[in-house]
């Protein structure tokens, strides 16, 4: 007998090629009359053009690094307050959307961003509505209440309702300019979200369905989007896969691969998607069961082993790092310890100990 469940998804989603040209209407729909736009550096010219066309946009902040720092959140929140903005849009990859989400959550109070990062202060009840506009096809941050920020080397995932966007504007055309390597990294992040949401200990029937579709879409379109960034159909399907990937893990949360991605990013500087992909095929083999077998077959594969092989092939095609020998100054004991200690590891369906993690990493030697 299936378990009872509670599922809710509060984000209004606008999807389609050219949707960005409806941003003015979407801001009005969200009740925004003075919207502050946080954007990726690469998109600064596009953001300035939008500001010239849409009177509701009152300012722009684009000083955002990959693995965004809490200092960027602080700066954006100060600007939002000083301009009297009533809403925040985040246009960029996960780094930009997560900065915008955090800034929108704290802009109504004068407390410093670090107090929230450290968990010393609860997020205020009053916050600004946030509109998420992804320009990579990967994180799914447009539909999650997650924000990943760093203070120096310390990278922290905060999961709080304060971060839930009010609306998501998903325009696949915004992803056409994403370079090959980022296309592959982010696409594998989307695949990891779908697979981990699906095999998570907290998986649920509705996210399960979205996960299965996201897996099918990634397997059918990621290589195409990587080969030709202007392949409209492949880019559209990858934007959809990333969105569904976000919805797949938003409630059940991710598991072993994401747990391992933190030490791999913090200590060995792998971009987020590459860090998740590093252990993804290994976890497919570890977590293989009848449910996963069915998912792989529904995606057109012969089973879980072919799923793992296909992931390895995508990593090879994309030139991603795949072996421990690719990591500089490897401290193997510490890597295993840190992966085991990450809270998301508890969400993996197969219990992982320091010993079993050692064994897993040895298959990647
Ligand atoms: N909040 C969530 O639910 C969630 C989920 C997964 C990952 N994350 C976090 O998101 C971050 C990673 O986000 P990401 O993978 O989207 O990468 P990113 O935002 O760091 O961007 C990667 C690179 O791509 C460039 N870029 C972005 N859009 C572009 C475009 N349209 N054309 C050309 N270049 C473009 C950026 O300038 C940057 O150099 C990490 O910090 C990760 O931990 C968050
Ligand atoms: Fe991720």
- Nearest ligand 1 atom, CA 249: 3
Evaluate whether 190 touches 215 at the Cβ level (below 8 Å). no
**Is 252 in the same domain as 358?**
yes
Let me know if residue 3 belongs to a domain. no
Please report, for the domain that includes residue 214, its CATH number: 1.20.1090.10
Let me know if residue 6 belongs to a domain. no
> Does the CA dihedral 300-284-218-16 come out positive or negative?
positive
Report percent pLDDT > 90 for the chain.
Answer: 97
- Asked whether 15 lines ligand 1 (CB < 6 A), one says no
- Asked whether 146 lines ligand 1 (CB < 6 A), one says yes
Let me know if residue 4 belongs to a domain. no
Let me know if residue 148 belongs to a domain. yes
**Is 29 in the same domain as 114?**
yes
**Which residues lie closer than 8 Å to 338 by C-beta, 6 or more apart?**
262, 263, 267
**Is 167 in the same domain as 200?**
no
Predicted pLDDT of residue 2: 65
- Nearest ligand 1 atom, CA 174: 31
Residue from 349, 347, 343 nearest 156 by CA: 343
Nearest CA to ligand 1 atom 18: 93
Predicted pLDDT of residue 6: 93
Site to probe by mutation for ligand 1, drawn from 11, 39, 45, 139 as the one with most ligand atoms within 8 Å of Cβ, is: 139
**Is 257 in the same domain as 350?**
yes
**Is 183 in the same domain as 310?**
yes
Nearest CA to ligand 1 atom 15: 186
User: Among 153, 174, 195, where does a domain finish?
Assistant: 174
Taking only the tens place, the pLDDT of each residue in 1-41 is 568 999 999 999 999 999 999 999 999 999 999 999 999 99
Let me know if residue 7 belongs to a domain. no
**Is 190 in the same domain as 335?**
yes
Please report, for the domain that includes residue 72, its CATH number: 3.40.50.1970
User: Among 174, 205, 229, where does a domain finish?
Assistant: 174
Let me know if residue 303 belongs to a domain. yes
**Is 167 in the same domain as 309?**
no
Evaluate whether 68 touches 113 at the Cβ level (below 8 Å). no
**Is 79 in the same domain as 28?**
yes
**Is 116 in the same domain as 259?**
no
Domain that holds residue 297: 179-362
- Asked whether 11 lines ligand 1 (CB < 6 A), one says no
Taking only the tens place, the pLDDT of each residue in 260-307 is 999 999 999 999 999 999 999 999 999 999 999 999 999 999 999 999
Let me know if residue 124 belongs to a domain. yes
**Is 203 in the same domain as 292?**
yes
Predicted pLDDT of residue 3: 80
Site to probe by mutation for ligand 1, drawn from 43, 44, 90, 92 as the one with most ligand atoms within 8 Å of Cβ, is: 92
Could you give the C-alpha distances from 97 to 89, 144, 160, 290, 334, in angstroms and in order? Answer: 8, 11, 15, 36, 31
* C-alpha 139 – ligand 1 centre gap (Å): 7
In the chain, which stretches have pLDDT less than 50? none
For residues 242 and 137, give the distance between their C-alpha atoms in angstroms, rounded to a whole number. 5
Number of separate domains in the chain: 2
Let me know if residue 149 belongs to a domain. yes
User: Among 174, 209, 234, where does a domain finish?
Assistant: 174
**Is 223 in the same domain as 260?**
yes
* C-alpha 281 – ligand 2 centre gap (Å): 15
**Is 50 in the same domain as 188?**
no
């Amino acid at each position: 007998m299936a378990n009872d469940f509670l599922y809710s998804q509060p984000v209004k989603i606008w999807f389609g090629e050219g949707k960005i040209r409806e941003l003015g209407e979407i801001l009005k729909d969200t009740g925004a009359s003075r919207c502050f736009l946080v954007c990726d550096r690469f998109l600064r010219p596009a953001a300035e053009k939008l500001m010239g066309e849409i009177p509701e946009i009152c300012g722009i902040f684009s000083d955002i690094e990959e693995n965004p720092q809490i200092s960027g959140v602080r700066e954006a929140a100060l600007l939002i307050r000083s301009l009297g903005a009533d809403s925040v849009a985040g246009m960029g990859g996960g780094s930009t959307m997560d900065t915008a989400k955090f800034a929108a959550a704290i802009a109504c109070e004068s407390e410093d961003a670090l107090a929230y990062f450290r968990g010393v202060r609860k997020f205020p009840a009053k916050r600004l509505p946030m509109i998420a506009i992804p320009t990579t096809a990967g994180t799914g941050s447009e539909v999650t209440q997650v924000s990943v920020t760093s203070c120096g080397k310390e990278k922290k995932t905060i999961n709080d309702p304060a971060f839930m966007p009010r609306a998501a504007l998903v325009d696949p055309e915004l992803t056409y300019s994403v370079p090959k390597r980022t296309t592959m990294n982010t696409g594998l992040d989307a695949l990891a979200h779908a697979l981990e949401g699906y095999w998570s200990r907290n998986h649920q029937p509705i996210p399960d369905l979205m996960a299965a579709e996201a897996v099918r879409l990634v397997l059918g379109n990621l290589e195409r989007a990587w080969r030709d960034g202007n392949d409209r159909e492949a880019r559209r399907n990858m934007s959809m896969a990333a969105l569904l990937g976000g919805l797949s893990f938003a409630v059940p949360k991710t598991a072993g691969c994401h747990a391992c991605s933190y030490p791999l990013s913090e200590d060995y500087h792998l971009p987020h998607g590459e860090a998740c992909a590093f252990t993804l095929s290994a976890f497919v083999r570890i977590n293989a069961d009848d449910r996963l077998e069915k998912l792989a077959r529904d995606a057109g594969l012969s089973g879980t082993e072919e799923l793992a092989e296909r992931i390895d092939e995508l990593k090879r095609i994309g030139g991603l790092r795949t072996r421990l020998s690719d990591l500089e100054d490897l401290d193997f004991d510490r890597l295993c310890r840190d992966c085991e200690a990450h809270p998301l590891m508890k969400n993996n369906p197969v219990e992982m100990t320091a010993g079993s993690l050692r064994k897993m990493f040895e298959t990647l030697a």
